[in-house]
Amino acid sequence: MLIFLVTSALAWLSSIWHPQKHTCDRLTVHRIPGVHILSIETQERHNYSFPAVPSLNPTDVHDLDFCDVTVTLTHPGGDDFVTVSIWLPLTDWNGRFQATGGGGLAAGYIGPAQAAAVNQGYVAASTDGGLTLNGTINPQTGAWALRPDGSLNTALLKNYAHRSIHDMTVIGKALTQSFYGTPPKFSYWNGCSTGGRQGYFAAALYPEHFDGILAGAPAINLPHLYSYLFWAPVLMINSVTPPQCVFHAFQKATIDACDPLDGAIDGLISYYDPETCDFGPETLIGETIECSELDSNITITSEHANLVDQIIQGPHIADGRRLWYGLAPGASFRGTADTITTNESTTPNPFFPSIGWTKNFVFQDSDYDVLSMDFEDFDTAALLSIARYTDILGSEGHYLYDFQYTGGKLLSWHGLADDIIPSSGTIQYRDRIEEDIEDLDEVDEFYRLFLAPGVGHCGGGYGPTPTDPFGALVRWVEEGVPPETLGAAGVNGDGEVVTRELCRYPLVLVYDGDGDVNDAGSFSCEYPEEVV
Ligand SMILES: *[C@@H]1O[C@H](CO)[C@@H](O)[C@H](O)[C@H]1NC(C)=O
Ligand SMILES: *[C@@H]1O[C@H](CO)[C@@H](O)[C@H](O)[C@H]1NC(C)=O
Ligand SMILES: *[C@@H]1O[C@H](CO)[C@@H](O)[C@H](O)[C@H]1NC(C)=O
Ligand SMILES: *[C@@H]1O[C@H](CO)[C@@H](O)[C@H](O)[C@H]1NC(C)=O
């Protein structure tokens, strides 16, 4: 006892003499129910640099000094092997914790997403959720879904769906306490696509983990969304597979037809009303266009027009049932209708994670040949995806009462020209929460959704992209200043800078009639019913 007191007193004195010095060894994590920690390894990193990775970490980061902690764990009975990575700034910690999300069939990206957060002073967490099988596979193959005997790996599926969010957050907060002697003052989630879905799942399933959640382009309807992702490839396999120049022509014609309807000819479809923008793909039939992929010209056929019409209408099965939304007007076709042209011959190039989903999750057959699917196979696959995975990966049963009650804030945004996840699914979710809570203002107090015209999946596309949505979230959480609009900037096809203040749904951007169309100040936010 006496020795303990003396050591404690010495430790206390030492902390006074060396207030900034945190030691990276002897970090501990207390027992976590349902988790068996296998190892904790720590390493001090100094002058650490990380190259830019688009959308995760847009610029190079340099000179990071942090404690790099790698925790491995398993879930008893699950036979999984999960790696959790926590980076703790050695100096200038900003008092906050940030958990970062994954994409496609990956639960997280250890490294790139954390680098950006540590650079801003956050403790940053990421995990592979066990989906790399201890670094031996690319999780985007979806090969982790099946055990060697061919059965579904339900432990990894659970990690992917939500458990990895919980594990990394509990461990990250515990290590923060162990390292700095104090828990984080504020905790955040930051993710897009699958990372966005994880953010929505965190709000619904772990409402006390985060004070603020940034969730971009969320893959919240994955089992249904899958039918959209594979619709275009199946259409092409069974009709015509055009080079991308053909799709570009349709994309451009759609933008030309629907852009003016929001009042501003700015190359952006800011407000889309299917009643007024009835662009008909058949109007391009017979037009001859230059085609860089073919090194010659190509004439648009009725088969091309029919294909585009079907992609925009969205997936449906033989009995006519529509399963999901179609491609947003003005979006690129690259996301789901990508093709590769070599030597005059063009083949479909389906979105990579959706190939893994078809083989390993839907048919549970890693040898399944996705490029031979006919419409009957498509119907089977789409219905199986919904039947098997809606319980664990759908969001229909999720509610946000507890998140609202604990004071959490959910800031979400979605590109209106997202070519991989149609924003309609996110709008549907927000509408459902609104109907559920029955009071739009009350929803706005904790959950806001911003739609970004012309922006693709988590960025890209041709419209102005949100510049600092995470900063807006932090101001909302810590200063109580809710984002009325979300600042966005980009460069248009003529190389001119375009800015917008994106509106929170259901408001839409409306042009003032005579200002510079590149300038955010020429637009305001109005309810769509007030737009004439
Ligand atoms: C980090 O870089 C700075 C200057 O660039 C240098 O003074 C310092 O010694 C370096 N520290 C380590 C641990 O390499
Ligand atoms: C994981 O991989 C590391 C490095 O390759 C190896 O040392 C370790 O034994 C592996 N662990 C398991 C549980 O497979
Ligand atoms: C392709 O079409 C353009 C007009 O769209 C025309 O100027 C050009 O000569 C054509 N090239 C070929 C190889 O036919
Ligand atoms: C394309 O054609 C050229 C010349 O006929 C041939 O050398 C080349 O291997 C072909 N490439 C592919 C990918 O088929």
Q: Nearest residue CA, atom 6 of ligand 4? A: 343
Find the domain containing 252 and state its range: 224-375
For residue 317, how far is its CA from the centre of ligand 2 (angstroms)? 45
Q: What is the best residue among 71, 133, 134 to mutate for testing ligand 2's pocket, by most ligand atoms within 8 Å of CB?
A: 134
For residue 242, how far is its CA from the centre of ligand 4 (angstroms)? 19
CB-based contacts of 31, cutoff 8 Å, min separation 6: none
Work out the pLDDT band at 487, boundaries 50, 70, 90: very high
Q: Return the structure tokens found at 401.
A: 């009462």
pLDDT at position 454 = 97
**Domain check: are 194 and 94 in the same one?**
yes
Ligand nearest to the CA of 296: 3
Q: Nearest residue CA, atom 10 of ligand 4? A: 343
The answer to whether position 20 is within a domain reads no
- Are the beta carbons of 309 and 320 closer than 8 angstroms? no
Closest-lying ligand 3 atom to the alpha carbon of residue 288? 5
CATH of the domain at 135: 3.40.50.1820
From 319, 342, 375, give the residue that closes a domain.
Answer: 375
Give pLDDT tens digits for 7-43: 444 444 444 444 456 779 889 898 999 999 999 999 9
- Are the beta carbons of 459 and 465 closer than 8 angstroms? yes
For ligand 4, residues with CB inside 6 Å are 342-343
**Domain check: are 67 and 181 in the same one?**
yes
**Domain check: are 470 and 426 in the same one?**
yes
Q: Nearest residue CA, atom 2 of ligand 1? A: 47
Mean pLDDT of 420-441: 95
Q: What is the best residue among 343, 345, 347 to mutate for testing ligand 4's pocket, by most ligand atoms within 8 Å of CB?
A: 343
**Domain check: are 287 and 258 in the same one?**
yes
Does 348 have pLDDT greater than 50?
yes
The answer to whether the CB of 46 is under 6 A from ligand 1 is yes
**Domain check: are 448 and 347 in the same one?**
no
Q: Nearest residue CA, atom 13 of ligand 3? A: 296
Ligand nearest to the CA of 287: 3
Which residues are paired to 53 by β-bridges? 57
The answer to whether the CB of 292 is under 6 A from ligand 3 is no
Mean pLDDT of 511-520: 94
pLDDT at position 453 = 96
pLDDT at position 1 = 40
Q: What percent of the chain has pLDDT over 90?
A: 87
Give pLDDT tens digits for 260-315: 888 899 999 998 776 677 789 999 999 999 999 998 999 999 999 999 999 999 99
The answer to whether position 422 is within a domain reads yes
Does 476 have pLDDT greater than 50?
yes
Q: Which residue has the higher pLDDT, 473 or 272?
A: 473
**Domain check: are 250 and 185 in the same one?**
no
Q: Nearest residue CA, atom 13 of ligand 1? A: 46
**Domain check: are 370 and 404 in the same one?**
no
Upstream peptide bond of 506 is cis (omega within 30 degrees of 0):
yes
Cβ count near 6 (within 10 Å): 10
pLDDT at position 140 = 97
Closest-lying ligand 2 atom to the alpha carbon of residue 135? 2
Q: Which residues are catalytic?
A: 193, 418, 457
pLDDT at position 274 = 63
Question: What percent of the residues of the chain are helix, what percent strand, and what percent coil, each to the nearest 5?
Answer: 35, 25, 40
**Domain check: are 181 and 230 in the same one?**
no
Q: Nearest residue CA, atom 10 of ligand 3? A: 297
CA atoms of 23 and 4, how far apart (whole Å): 20
From 348, 375, 402, give the residue that closes a domain.
Answer: 375
Does 530 have pLDDT greater than 80?
no
Does 336 have pLDDT greater than 60?
yes
The answer to whether position 475 is within a domain reads yes
**Within 13 Å of residue 300, how many CA atoms lie on the same side as its CB?**
23
- How many domains are contained in the chain? 2
**Domain check: are 188 and 199 in the same one?**
yes
**Domain check: are 214 and 229 in the same one?**
no
Work out the pLDDT band at 332, boundaries 50, 70, 90: very high
pLDDT at position 279 = 85
For residue 334, how far is its CA from the centre of ligand 4 (angstroms)? 24
From 320, 341, 375, give the residue that closes a domain.
Answer: 375
Give pLDDT tens digits for 208-248: 999 999 999 999 999 999 999 999 999 999 999 999 999 99
**Domain check: are 213 and 235 in the same one?**
no
**Within 13 Å of residue 236, how many CA atoms lie on the same side as its CB?**
26
Give pLDDT tens digits for 60-98: 888 999 999 999 999 999 999 999 999 999 999 999 999
The answer to whether position 517 is within a domain reads no
Q: Return the structure tokens found at 35.
A: 């988790």
For residue 294, how far is its CA from the centre of ligand 4 (angstroms)? 13
Work out the pLDDT band at 57, boundaries 50, 70, 90: confident
The answer to whether the CB of 134 is under 6 A from ligand 2 is yes
pLDDT at position 28 = 87
pLDDT at position 10 = 44
DSSP labels, 159-220? IIIIIHHHHHHHHHHHHHHHHHSS--SEEEEEEETHHHHHHHHHHHH-TTT-SEEEEES--T
Helix (DSSP H) and strand (DSSP E) numbers for the chain? 15, 18
pLDDT at position 285 = 98
Indicate the average pLDDT of the chain.
93
